[in-house]
Copies of this chain bind each other. A is one copy, B any other.
Amino acid sequence: MPKPIRVTIWNEFIHEQAVASVREIYPAGMHAVWAEAIQRHCGDGVTIRFAFLDQPEHGLTEAVLAETDVLTWWGHAAHDRVDDAVVERVQRRVWQGMGLVALHSAHNSKIFKRLMGTSCMLRWREAAERERVWIVDPSHPIVAGFTEESFELPQGEMYGEFFDIPAPDELFTISWFEGGEVFRSGCCWRRGKGRVVYFSPGHETFPIYHDPHIQRIIANAVQYAAPTGAAYYGEGRNIPEALSPIAAIHHVDASLHEKK
């Protein structure tokens, strides 16, 4: 039996408390819906905890992150309120192997933009329009279990191109919108030893996170982003002794080169 994946679900958790219509759709918060879906799909394969913006250090202390294999992230109204020190801490954990699954409006979160190096800007429209999600890599583990080439969401927020991200290492879905746009809605990248997944379908004012396709993809993404253990990853370091003989080593004054 493999060790279960330790998931931390991070939720800004503002809309569900502040907006009645959102609370109606997600009475216990969106995090409760994600947790239920991940648990149902992964069974004993996961253990789940929550973290929120309003907790000290946003609930993401060194100790919590050290015990997190995959962090899912949702923010929308308060990206700016996330502390830079916490963002940097999360980034370092990703480098060391923690997976990050960024959902919907997390495209604009500090942590996602830092890992991407781009503006992550996009076009958007809230018109409750139809979205159809097309699978463009049927071999990808995040779409495991899908027996159709596409699925529909009756009402979605449009996120459209140009989406300012680095070319994804893996692109697994492209979304079609009734109003005329397309969007690279399912993308993966590696940063350090960690995997980053972005998946856009989802919204607080539509019941998208109750959709079974979306729930399966989020659960699959958690499994995909979990660290494999894989190989050595360490700090940069000086290696004064060569592995193979060097013809003639001459003296080099290294005094100015200590910081790499």
Query: CB within 8 Å of B: which residues of A?
Result: 14-15, 18-19, 21, 76-77, 79-80, 91, 95, 97, 105, 108, 114-119, 121-130, 132, 134-141, 143-150, 152, 155, 158, 160-164, 166-167, 169-171, 174-182, 184, 189-195, 205, 227-240, 242-250, 252-254, 256-257, 259-260
Contacts and interface: CB of A to CB of B under 8 A. Distances in A.
A61 to B, nearest CB: 21
A134 B158 contact: no
A19 B252 CA distance: 12
B195 A146 contact: no
B127 A249 contact: yes
Contact of A179 (B15, B123, B171, B242): B242
26 contacts: A15-B256, A19-B253, A19-B256, A79-B259, A108-B260, A122-B260, A123-B236, A123-B239, A126-B252, A126-B254, A129-B247, A129-B249, A135-B162, A136-B162, A139-B193, A139-B195, A139-B227, A140-B228, A140-B230, A146-B230, A149-B161, A149-B231, A169-B170, A178-B244, A180-B244, A181-B243
A143 B231 contact: yes
A97 B231 CA distance: 27
Given A179-B246, A246-B179, A232 B126 contact: no
Total copies of the chain: 4
Contact of A229 (B95, B97, B145, B234): B145
A125 B180 contact: no
Given A230-B139, A244-B130, A174 B191 contact: no
Contacts of A150: 161, 243
A107 to B, nearest CB: 8
SS of A interface (majority): loop
Contacts of A95: 118-119, 164
A85 to B, nearest CB: 15
A126 B182 contact: no
A169 B188 CA distance: 12
A76 B256 contact: yes
Given A138-B232, A140-B230, A162-B232, 4 more contacts: A77-B256, A123-B238, A136-B162, A150-B243
A174 to B, nearest CB: 5
Give me the 6 closest cross-chain CB pairs, A-B, nearest first.
A179-B242, A121-B236, A180-B243, A180-B244, A146-B231, A138-B231
